[in-house]
Structure 1
Amino acid sequence: MTPNATIPFALVTSAARDDEAKVVDIDAIMNKLNIVLLTLTIVLGTTGNSVVIWVAGFKLKPTVTNVWLVNLAVADLIFCLSRVLSLTKKFFFDYWPFGIFLCKFNGFFRYTNMFCSVFLLAVISMDRTLCVWHPVFTKRRRTICAARLVSACVWAVAAILSAPHFAYRQVYLGKNNLSKCSLEDNEPKGDNSAKLALSLMRFLCGFLLPFLIILCCYILAGLGIRRTRLLGKSRPLRILVSLVCAFVLCWATYHCLLLAKMVNSNSTLVTGGLTVATAFTYFNSCVNPLLYFCMGLDMRGSRFRQTLEGVYRRALANDRDGRNTQPNERTVDNRSGSASQPALSLK
Structure 2
Amino acid sequence: METDNQTEYYYEYDYEEEIDLESLHILSIVLYSIAFILGTSGNGLVIWITGFKMKTSVNTIWFLNLAMADFIFTFFLPLSIAYTAMGFVWPFGWFLCKLNSFIMVLTMYSSVFILTAISMDRCLSVVAAVWAQNHRTPRKAWFTCLILWALAGVFSSPYLKYRDVMKVSETIQRCSYCFGNDADMRVFRHKALTITRFLFSFLLPTVVIISCYTAIGYRYSTIHRKRSFKPFKVIVAVTVTFFICWIPFHIFQILELKATGDDPSLKVVHVGMPVATSIAFFNSCLNPILYVCMCQDFKEKLKKSFLKVGPHTLWEVICSVY
TM-score, normalising length from structure 2? 0.88
Amino acid at match of 1:174: V
| Distance 1:180-1:115 versus aligned 2 partners, 3 A rule | same
How many residues in Structure 1 have an aligned counterpart in Structure 2? 301
| Partner in structure 2 of residue 118 of structure 1 | 112
Give the direction of change, closer, same or farther, for the CA distance of 1:147–1:265 in structure 2 (3 Å limit): farther
What are the equivalent positions in structure 2 for 1:94-133 lying under 5 Å apart? 94-133=88-127
Taking the TM superposition and a 5 Å limit, the aligned residue runs for 1:127-166 are 127-166=121-160
CA offsets per residue over residues 57-107 of structure 1, 9 Å max, x none?
111222211101100111111111111111111222111111101100111
How far apart are the structure 2 equivalents of 1:176 and 1:32?
26
Amino acid at match of 2:267: T
**Aligned residue among 239, 243, 246 for 2:241:** 246
- Aligned mates of 2:167, 2:299 — CA distance in 1: 59
Corresponding residue of 1:34? 28
Evaluate the alpha carbon distance shift between residue 227 and residue 86 of structure 1 in structure 2; reply closer, same or farther with a 3 A threshold: same
Unaligned stretches of 5+ residues in structure 2: 1-14
Select between 306-315 and 216-225 the one with higher mean Cα deviation.
306-315
Tell me which residue corresponds to 1:220.
215
Matched-pair contact (CA < 8 Å) for 1:297–1:303: no
Q: 1:254 to 1:318 in 2, by over 3 A?
A: closer
SS in 2 for 1:305: coil
Match 2:193 to one of 192, 198, 206: 198
In structure 1, runs of 5+ residues without a counterpart are 1-19, 325-345
Name the structure 1 match of 2:253: 258
1:179 equivalent in structure 2: 173
Amino acid of the structure 1 residue aligned with 2:250: H
Contact 1:129 1:218 in 2 (8 A): yes
SS in 2 for 1:301: helix
Cα displacement string for residues 119-156 of structure 1 (whole angstroms, at most 9, x for unaligned residues): 11110110011000111111111000000000000000
Distance 1:265 1:255, change over 3 A: farther
The residue type paired with residue 270 of structure 2 is T
Counterpart amino acid of residue 218 in structure 1: Y
Q: Which amino acid aligns with 1:189?
A: A
Q: Structure 2 matches for 1:310-329, cutoff 5 A?
A: 310-317=309-316
Q: Which amino acid aligns with 2:55?
A: K
Aligned to 2:7: none
Give the SS at the match of 2:76.
helix
Partner of 2:83: 89
| Cα pair distance change 1:189/1:176, threshold 3 Å | farther
User: What residue number does 1:62 align with?
Assistant: 56
Residue-by-residue CA offset, 1:310-334 (whole Å, 9 max, x unaligned): 14532343687xxx7xxxxxxxxxx
Counterpart of 1:289, as a letter, is P
What secondary structure, in the 3-state scheme, does the structure 2 residue paired with 1:251 have? helix
Deviation, 1:265, is 4.1
8 A contact 1:51–1:309 mirrored in 2: no
Offset at 1:219?
A: 0.7
In structure 1, the residue matched to 2:6 is none
AA at the equivalent of 1:249: I
The letter of the residue matching 1:162 is: S
- After TM superposition, the structure 1 = structure 2 runs for residues 69-80 of structure 1, keeping only pairs within 5 Å, are 69-80=63-74
1:230 to 227, 231, 234: 227
Structure 1 segments (4+ residues) deviating >6 Å = none
Corresponding residue number in structure 2 for 1:329: none
Answer yes or no: is the 8 Å Cα contact 1:57–1:70 preserved in 2: yes
Report the CA distance between 1:304 and its aligned residue. 2.4
Deviation at 1:175, TM superposition (A): 5.7
Match of 1:294 in 2: 293
- In structure 1, the residue matched to 2:3 is none
* 1:302–1:112 distance in 2 versus 1, CA, 3 Å: closer
Q: Deviation of residue 173 (structure 1)?
A: 1.2
Larger Rg: 1
Identity of aligned residues (%): 33
Deviations 1:249-287 (A, max 9, x none): 110111011101111145111122112111211111111
CA RMSD of aligned residues (A): 2.1
